[in-house]
Chain A
Amino acid sequence: MPNIEIDGAIHEVDGGQNLLQACLALGLDLPYFCWHPAMGSVGACRQCVVTQYTGPEDRRGRLVVGCMTPVGEGLRISLKNDAAKEFRADIIELLMTNHPHDCPVCEEGGQCHLQDMTVMTGHTVRRFRGKKRTHRNQYLGPFINHEMNRCIACYRCVRYYQDYAGGKDLGVFGAHHHVYFGRSEDGVLENEFSGNLVEVCPTGVFTDKTYGKRYSRKWDLQTAPSICVHCSLGCNTTPGERYGELRSIVNRYHGEINRYFLCDRGRFGYGFVNSERRILQPELRGRQAISPDAARELLKSVLEPAEKVIGIGSPRASLEANYALRELVGADRFYTGWTESGNELMQTVLEVLRRTDALNPTLAQIEQADAVLILGEDPSNTAPRLALSVRQAVRNAGFELAAKVGIPHWQDDAVREVAQDLRSPLFIASCASTRLDGIATDVFRGTPDEIACLGFAVARNLNPKAPAVRNLSASLKDKARVIADALKNAQRPLVISGTGCLDKTVIEAAANVAKALQSGGKALSLVVPECNSTGLALLSGHSLEEAEKALESGAAETVLIVENDLYRHAGKSLVDRLLDRAKYVVLIDHSRHPIAGKADLVLPAASFAETEGTYVNNEGRAQRFFSVMLPGAEMQDSWQWLRDAGAGNWEHADSIIAAIASGIPGLKGVADAAPGAGFRISGMKIPRQSQRYSGRTAMRANIAVSEPKQPVDPDSPLAFSMEGAAVQPPAALMSSAWAPAWNSNQSIIKFQAEVGGHLQGGDPGVRLLESSGSLDWFAAFPEPAKAAKGTWLVVPQYYIFGSEPLSSGSPAIAEQVNGLCVLLNPEDLDALQTKSGDALELQFDGQSTVAEAKSDIGVPIGVAAVSFGLAGSEGIDWLTRVPIRKAAAEV
């Protein structure tokens, strides 16, 4: 670690860094624009200039660009000398020559990096008298607003969108001071990570349109640390509330998971919280409202006799809600809400993660992989943020090559230039085309059975002790060998798989590959369906088939369903039968779905934004989320309804968390996911409101000018208040990123242990799964069935927008959801004498589903990939073979 001298003081810094990074890591304020901690340096904006001296005798020094200067032993610089300070102020002045100075009406105002840097450099007087150049703005879709006149041409947007996220439809046009950042024509941004432009852009060019519709300043938002509910990765988020509405979601830095970026589902999916689909008060069948007290009484009465009650939990409900239900009905009568095969899938995942000898990687570790095999998962659509990490992982070969010719990791353009299209190997085995295909070394397309076979064969190639696969086609054999060779040559090979194929042998095959690998850096990452699938699996429960049996046999009469639309987890006929057989159906949920219409009693639950709880993500990390606002008057947390019905006498969240930790062996760690309600800093709670939160009085001035007491929050160490501890809380309790002089999200730099690394004091959450390394080979590989003529194997096709139910309730996301589709190989389309756009009818046992035909060359012949989770998909029996024909009428 070299020592460098900055303004006379000696500091030890990380030698692999550039000077800007090093200064920021030391907590010094050095302004910058084009550099981004995740995207490296290009040296375009010239904002981070400092003075460098050749030695003690050198009094003049020369200006150098911080982000392009490697640190090295004996480097002497000054941030404070006049020449550098003046230059930095000049740069801001130049950036502002064309800027509209429209901060009062700009949505970035108050969280604007340009504002911060302008103040930091001390540029206050405008000398430019010329005419400002102006631009036309573009329509970019429902997520992002475009205001080009605010552009300072830092090039971050294109670098992020094209280079980092692999997007194609945003670019830079023109030259000199007319450079324009946008699309070649108006239109919806196609990349699924477009929302990060909002945070990547240091000014107000790209802003969150959904937030803009219900705008308030950042400092007027009430915020709390939260966890994304839209997939299993558990990205950390900061939701913002004002006037009882959720207004926005921004990224909350987590050094091991999402770091700086979210996917668009996670960022824009929050709208369901404000939506008309919310259940606002207790209801009887036919949406007949009753009072909460009456509802509580009624609930108690239908829970008698206790042995006739079964409870169905949910992978999208918190651990607390699921646990309370399990306590209420008893472990014997607790059902997960998954079918038998769903249960089996999740138990396989748990078994593998508990016993594999491979690393169960964080997203940050995934980015370090130097060879990747994706087996049967489509992360771009099932766990989007993971796909963004894979995009970074394939760059590792390029980084290595660059290092060989002396180009440092952070010098982004130079690394890309020398790397060209050299990528670390990435192999994708899937049932249809995926959005990562473009960066893959090779792709394999097959049925889930064939994908599993490929995996088994790869394992066998890697290790002769792995079970051999019979009847392998020659081409599959070749592929397996190529893949095995690439993985074998890697230091940090990574296998990604998951529940996406709905087929446990795929997961077993992935586990075999991981086991067969020799490298010490090997890793196995498994994607699961929902934000708390792992938590639910850790509680374990019976299947829906068993629930139906219990109801049919009369062993059970009443069904208590918590936060679950069963139609999403099981075929329509099974769920229909189950509900029909129940004498009494109770649903506790926050949003309306088909089950609500069939329930006798519906209780309104709080959404993630209004309650505190714990989710366990796909790596088995328990993470706590906190309410950002109070639930509606008649709502409460699911676990509180259940407590009131007699599940336990937990007074506060802490009590139920303690009960979970002591009651469930695998969940002992959950209590440590975040500090409990009693946590205080110097006797004070942590405020959810900023120190400049304005107008608690004014907000209600149209009602009364006397300010009501702020609500108390007995469940958490956070306060619904601006008063409280003014110092940095533990990472798990950081409700928003802000530091003096740093109002934008880039202030996170002040809270990291190293730039782009862990948060100070450690990243939040607790990893619950420790693996024993004792996993044995899985030997039962499938024998792919011969395709029967005239039938197609129905496999799930996931969509980032649509396959996940909560986000689909957000208006902006809903705009991006397509109707139900069936993807077929063009040859199959020809055979059916249809074309893309035609309506096709899939005939399941006793019923049919109509979907729009789409051609996908990636889908194997004989396979039909059908939209998963969309309205209309309830009747589908996945992984069965069915006849398909042209529908009589249009869809």
Chain B
Amino acid sequence: MQTPLTKNIKPGRDFATLADYRATGGYEGLRKAVTSMESLQVQQVVKDSELRGRGGAGFPTGLKWSFVPMGENAPATKYFVVNADEMEPGTFKDRVLMEEDPHQLVEGIIIGSYAIRATSAYIFLRGEYHLSAERLAAAISEAYDQGYLGKNILDSDYSLDLYLHTSAGRYICGEETALLNSLEGKRANPRAKPPFPQISGLWGKPTIVNNVETVCNLPHILYYGLDWYHGLGRGKDKGTKLFGASGRVKRPGIWELPMGTPIREILEEHAGGMQDGYRLRGFLPGGVSTDFMLPEHLDVPMDFEAIAAHGSRMGTGTMIILDDRTCPVEFVLNVERFFSRESCGWCTPCRDGLPWVVAILEDLIQGKGRPGDLDLLHHQTRMMGPGNTFCALAPGAMEPLQSALKYFRDDFEKYLRRPVLAEAG
């Protein structure tokens, strides 16, 4: 089994240095791109690779790029931005890629930038990732030294500057348009779309925002070619993906596996199954803004459409396991507190709706729930559904809640049946 993204991550080695990276073909994809291909050709290869974004939404990367104005009349300034804000609870894949093999990301960025003819690139890194920051900064400076960045990259006519920006917190910064506002030094409120960033992004200029893992795919696609890449996936989706699991499994962790790997295989083979004394009740397939799935879904492959067909989303592909000794209502309360606290405060449903959801869940758990509360919660999940809020934060927040109400209804109702102590006292 091939693991292009993690092939340089070796036990016992701190991280892949420039030499380590180059030893396995590092920067050859870039060389090929800038010395022998036009930007539009690079775009075409990526489009043909059928690479889909690894940031959560799975948007086809090549298609995304194709909206960037190219050619003579395109604006002189364009940006390529890497979303390294990884803050979705339960998600810990980008950090690994950045800490252990920083040059892979740097090379990917240069290739992506070249494909859209970006003039500058930024890595938007979450503030708490100090080790990633250190290693990326070093890698960037090495890349400049080697002529991979700066003026006339590898003697081509292409020049690029790459900057590392470390964030100052807030989950909403991961939303690509909020990220752009944050990068401009503003409050991280998302922006309305349209206009899409490809038309008016960073400082109003055409901009691409891609996830770290997405970008890490680029050097390999360019270097090894389409056939190779297409051969990696096991299902409909192409390539490999970092899948992970956390919670009460025997070996929580992260593994690079082909797209389309069945969930059961990930959980049972790689994560070692549930810890002794715990049973699987359900799981969130890719971070907290995805819907619960149940043990009966274990044979679903980790493919975007397959997961969607079962009412959830692959999201970031890092699973959170709900065991039978954890109360799903408390689980959901924890998640909703997170979303409520991380709302940017721009649009009404999210800003004022999430604290209400939290209040209802708290009441419920404290035995102060009232009949009708569950219907109200259900109603909230619809009101904060996709399209009704300004960005996808609140709809994401509703996914675990709505699916918990569906799958774990009894656990919610139990709280309503409990004698109400508060009122007695």
A binding-site residues for B, Cβ under 8 Å: 42-47, 49, 62-64, 68, 87, 90-91, 94-95, 97-98, 127-131, 152-153, 155, 172, 174-179, 405-407, 411, 413-414, 417-420
Contact = CB atoms under 8 A, between A and B. Distances in A.
A156 to B, nearest CB: 13
B200 interface: yes
Contacts of A175: 170, 187, 343-345
Interface stretch (B25-33, B216-224, B293-301, B349-357): B349-357
Contacts, number: 109
A174 B348 CA distance: 15
A179 B351 contact: yes
Nearest to B388: A63
Contact of B348 (A45, A62, A127, A419): A45
Contacts of A172: 187
B70 interface: no
B192 interface: yes
Interface string B164-201: 00000010000000000000000100011011000110
Given A177-B352, A406-B199, 20 more contacts: A43-B347, A44-B348, A44-B390, A45-B347, A63-B388, A94-B348, A94-B349, A94-B353, A98-B352, A129-B359, A176-B343, A176-B344, A178-B345, A179-B345, A406-B195, A413-B192, A414-B191, A414-B192, A418-B200, A420-B204
A414 B344 contact: no
Classify chain B's interface size: 35 or more
A219 to B, nearest CB: 29
A68 B195 CA distance: 11
A128 B352 CA distance: 11
Given A129-B363, A130-B359, A406-B195, A420 B343 contact: no
A81 to B, nearest CB: 15
B359 A46 contact: no
B348 A46 contact: yes
B347 A128 contact: no
A538 to B, nearest CB: 48
Given A129-B363, A130-B356, A411 B348 contact: no
A342 B104 CA distance: 76
B383 interface: yes
A98 B348 CA distance: 12
Contacts of B352: 94-95, 97-98, 153, 177
B166 to A, nearest CB: 19
26 contacts: A64-B387, A87-B388, A90-B349, A97-B352, A98-B352, A130-B359, A153-B345, A153-B348, A153-B352, A172-B187, A175-B170, A176-B340, A176-B341, A176-B342, A176-B351, A176-B354, A177-B352, A179-B345, A405-B200, A413-B191, A414-B191, A414-B192, A414-B194, A417-B200, A417-B204, A419-B204
B347 A130 contact: no
B389 interface: yes
Nearest to B376: A127
Contacts of B331: none
Contacts of A62: 387
A399 to B, nearest CB: 13
Interface in B332-386: 340-349, 351-356, 359, 363, 376, 379, 383
Contacts of B199: 405-406
A87 B383 contact: yes
A418 B195 CA distance: 9
Given A44-B390, A130-B359, A153-B351, A177 B192 contact: no
Given A63-B388, A130-B359, A47 B348 contact: yes
A60 to B, nearest CB: 13
Interface of B: 170, 187, 191-192, 194-195, 199-200, 203-204, 340-349, 351-356, 359, 363, 376, 379, 383, 387-390
B343 A177 contact: yes
Nearest to A405: B199
Which 5 pairs, one residue from A and one from B, show the smallest C-beta to C-beta distance?
A130-B359, A94-B352, A418-B204, A179-B345, A176-B343
Nearest to A95: B348
A46 B343 contact: no
Contacts of B203: 417, 420
Contacts of A176: 340-345, 351, 354-355
Contacts of B343: 175-177
Contact of B388 (A46, A127, A177): A46
Nearest to A176: B343
Nearest to B181: A417
Contacts of B353: 94
A47 B194 CA distance: 19
A148 to B, nearest CB: 14
Contacts of B376: 127
Contact of A405 (B187, B195, B348, B390): B195
A90 B347 CA distance: 13
B192 A68 contact: yes
B192 A411 contact: yes
A68 B388 CA distance: 12
A407 B343 CA distance: 27
Nearest to B359: A130
Contacts of A414: 191-192, 194-195, 200
A54 B240 CA distance: 38
B344 A406 contact: no
A419 B191 CA distance: 15
Contact of B389 (A46, A407, A418, A419): A46
A49 B388 contact: yes
B345 A42 contact: no
A174 B345 contact: yes
A406 B196 CA distance: 11
Given A95-B352, A177-B355, A44 B191 contact: no
A131 B358 CA distance: 11
A745 B339 CA distance: 37
B192 A90 contact: no
B192 to A, nearest CB: 5
A42 B193 CA distance: 11
A97 B388 contact: no
A152 B347 CA distance: 10
A418 B204 CA distance: 4
A178 B347 CA distance: 13
B338 to A, nearest CB: 11
Nearest to B204: A418
Contacts of A131: 359
A414 B352 CA distance: 25
A339 to B, nearest CB: 52
B387 A63 contact: yes
A91 B351 CA distance: 11
A445 B320 CA distance: 67
A405 B353 CA distance: 35
A94 B356 contact: yes
Contacts of A95: 348, 352
Contacts of B192: 42-43, 68, 411, 413-414
Nearest to A154: B348
Contacts of B383: 87, 90
Contacts of B204: 417-420
Contacts of B387: 62-64
Contact of A407 (B200, B345, B348, B355): B200
B119 to A, nearest CB: 15
Contact of A43 (B200, B341, B359, B390): B390
A503 B387 CA distance: 60
A420 B199 CA distance: 14
B182 to A, nearest CB: 12
B313 to A, nearest CB: 19
Given A63-B387, A413-B191, A91 B200 contact: no
Contacts of B191: 413-414, 417
The listed residue with most A CB atoms (<10 A of its CB), out of B187, B351, B356, B383, is B351
Nearest to B368: A129
Nearest to B350: A176
A246 B423 CA distance: 54
A153 B353 CA distance: 13
A816 B324 CA distance: 68
